[in-house]
Amino acid sequence: MKPVIQDPIKSSTEYRLPRHVAIIMDGNGRWAQRRHLPRFAGHRAGVAKVRELVETCAESGIEVLTLFAFSSENWRRPVQEVSLLMDLLWTSLKKEIRKLHKNNIRVRFIGDRHAFASRITDHIDAAEALTAENTGLTLVVAVNYGGRWDILQSVRSLACAVSTGELDPEQVDVAEIESRLSLHDLPDPDLFIRTGGERRISNFLLWQLAYSELYFTDTLWPDFDQKAFRTALDDFAGRQRRFGMTGDQVETLRNA
C-alpha cells in the first residue's frame, strides 16, 4: 500500500490514507470475559494490540494516531479495575518509551493530569520530553480526557483573556477556540474508529471530530489486527469527503 498524504479534497486516484486516525479502543473486558479470564487480562491484551497498531501506522506514513486510553468517566469503574489500569499505564510507559523514541515516534498526552499519582505524571513528562524532537509518527494518548473538558479549558482561557483585556469579545472566533484545545497544533482526525460494537463517540474529541469519517466495527479491540485496520482504511479511501460542498464541486476541485 503506497501512502498518499495530501489535501482531503484534491486527492488522486492513488490509495488515500488519513493523516490523522483517532481510535476508541473498546472491548477489552468483553474479550476477556468471553475467554473466562479476568477483565484485566483483556486490558493487557489491548496494550499488545496498541504496540502492533503503532508500528503499522508508523510504517504506513500516517502522521498522527490518537488513542483514547482512559476517559474522565472511567473513574466510575470498580476501584480495583481503575487501580489495575493505573498500574498498567505506569508499567507500559516505563517499558515502551525507549522503543518509541528509538523509532522516531513523538509521544504526547492529553487530558487532565491532576488526578494521577506523581509516579505516573513523572513518566508522562519524561516521555514527552524525551520524544519532543522526533519527526515520525505523533502518538497522542488521551488519559483522563473528555471532549467537554477540552472545550471548557479553551473557553476558560478565552474568558481570562477577555477579562484582562488581551482580547475583545468580538475577537473570539473559531480559530481562537481551536488554538486553546489539546490538539491545536495537529490536523483534526480524518478517520475515527471505534471497536467493540458501540456506535457513539463517548465524549471523545467532540470539537475535532466535526468532519471526521466515522467507522464502527464489532471487532473487540484485542482482535483488531492489521487486516481489520486495513479494512477501515479501505473504507475511508472509498469515501467522498465533501466538507459541506456538493459531490460535483468536490470532483471539480479534485480534477483542477
Catalytic residues: 26, 74
- Sequence-separated (6 or more) residues with CB below 8 Å from residue 6: 12, 16
What's the N-to-C CA distance of the chain in angstroms?
A: 25
Asked whether 54 and 42 are in contact (CB, 8 A), the reply is no
Question: Cα(167)–Cα(246) distance, rounded to whole angstroms?
Answer: 37
DSSP code per residue over 224-244: --HHHHHHHHHHHHT----TT
Question: How long is the chain?
Answer: 256
233 vs 131: CA distance, rounded Å: 27
DSSP secondary-structure letter at 20?
E
Number of H helices, E strands in the chain: 8, 6
C-alpha–C-alpha distance, residues 69 and 89, integer Å:
9
DSSP H or E run through 37:
none
What whole-number distance in Å separates Cα of residue 169 and Cα of residue 177? 12
- For residue 128, which phi and psi values (nearest 5 degrees)? -65, -40
The radius of gyration of the chain from alpha carbons, rounded to an integer in Å, stands at 19
